[in-house]
Amino acid sequence: MAAAPAPAEMLDLAGRAVAVTGAGGGIGHGIASRMLAAGASVAAHTRSSSLDRLPEDGRVVRVTADLTDPDAPARVASAALDAFGRLDGLVNNAALQPIKHFAELTDREWSEMIDTNLTAVHRLTQACAAAMKAAGNGGSIVHIASIEGHHAPVMHGHYGVSKAGLIMHARSAALAYGPDGIRVNTVSPGLIHRPGLEDDWPDGVSRWGRACPLGRMGSPEDVGDACVFLCSDLARWITGAELVVDGGVSVRPTW
């Protein structure tokens, strides 16, 4: 067996193209920015948020679409192929997280959550994996789930259900697409900082700080770096895995 390249070379994504959904939000912007920093070109998707923070250059193509539209996933894949001539990675980040008591959810609210957080991801995975398979170079798909896929959340339990489903979807897709050289993994973040969060939820931020072994909230870049790793050759033999990015809070006993 030939010796593996040096780690620095395996983390270099130069010449590769990655699609990132929900790139206008905080976490999505962090993911897209770190992909660009690692050398990749990015097909940046948004439904309604601005993508103005991303650079205006030839390594970024912008895609505006409602991912619950059955035709939208193919548009995301095509945008990358048309702009860069290839598609090597997909980060399924776009999601809804409305706040409502589990017992009060309407059928419509439940369906909106599942359509966005699960069905759209499934379609995107199919569309982008088909493009990767056609090129014959393999690829990497990363689902952004949540630690709430394991810990039932208060007031957004339906979100937790969707993220638990996403974790299993990644494992199932890893099994299906492995023979094509396509790896599928999950990143499950904990509490990620956004501007104004301390004012909007002071008690929760304080409790998180006390519970988290590393003593802080995460940043969008923390999530982005995990995605860069999983899309790089350093993770070439990792598929069907869940990478928890939560500062260690999940190890804290709850009883």
Which member of 33, 146, 162, 188 is catalytic?
146
Using CA atoms, how far apart are residues 89 and 80, in angstroms rounded to an integer? 10
Using CA atoms, how far apart are residues 168 and 146, in angstroms rounded to an integer? 12
Is 133 labeled as catalytic in the residue annotation?
A: no
Cα Rg of the chain, angstroms? 18
In this structure, the strands spanning 60-64 and 89-92 are unpaired
Using CA atoms, how far apart are residues 174 and 209, in angstroms rounded to an integer? 34
Is 163 labeled as catalytic in the residue annotation?
A: yes
- The alpha carbon of residue 108 and the mean position of all alpha carbons in its chain are separated, in whole angstroms, by 25
Is 100 labeled as catalytic in the residue annotation?
A: no
- In contact, 166 and 122? CB cutoff 8 Å: no
Using CA atoms, how far apart are residues 251 and 246, in angstroms rounded to an integer? 10
- In contact, 209 and 198? CB cutoff 8 Å: no
Which member of 163, 177, 188, 232 is catalytic?
163
Which member of 33, 41, 140, 159 is catalytic?
159
Q: Which two tokens stand for residue 34?
A: 């770190």
**By C-alpha distance, which of 143, 146, 173, 142 is closest to 159?**
146
**Residues that are catalytic:** 146, 159, 163
